[in-house]
Amino acid sequence: MIKNSLIPVIPQEEKNKGSVEFQIFSFTNRIRRLTSHLELHRRDYLSQRGLRQILGKRQRLLAYLSKKNRVRYKELISQLDIREPKIR
């Protein structure tokens, strides 16, 4: 349900499932679904672990995209309404 409603955000030429933007987009959808699941089921520790893994993957992909193409990175961040990761 959520996945189908958010897919039109990505332009047609970027629906390539191997592209970094599509992967970040799909991870963001999974993160939002898991977050809503964990609001109801607070003690689901395996889902919490999976959420942390997906967050790490998305963070690595965002770092890669910011190094390769800063303009596309900024556009994607604004489209998906996510914050920039903290720099250590």
Whether residue 33 contacts residue 51, with contact meaning beta carbons closer than 8 Å, is answered with: no
> Is position 3 within any domain?
no
Mean pLDDT for the chain? 87
68: containing domain: 17-80
Mean predicted confidence (pLDDT) in 2-27: 71
Mean predicted confidence (pLDDT) in 56-70: 96
Statement: residue 4 has pLDDT above 70: no
pLDDT tens across 26-36, in order? 999 999 999 99
pLDDT band at 51 (very low <50, low <70, confident <90, very high): very high
In angstroms, the CA 83 to CA 53 distance is 18
> Is position 53 within any domain?
yes
CA neighbor of 26 nearest in space, from 15, 40, 13, 42: 15
CATH of the domain at 55: 1.10.287.10
> Is position 59 within any domain?
yes
- pLDDT value for 17: 84
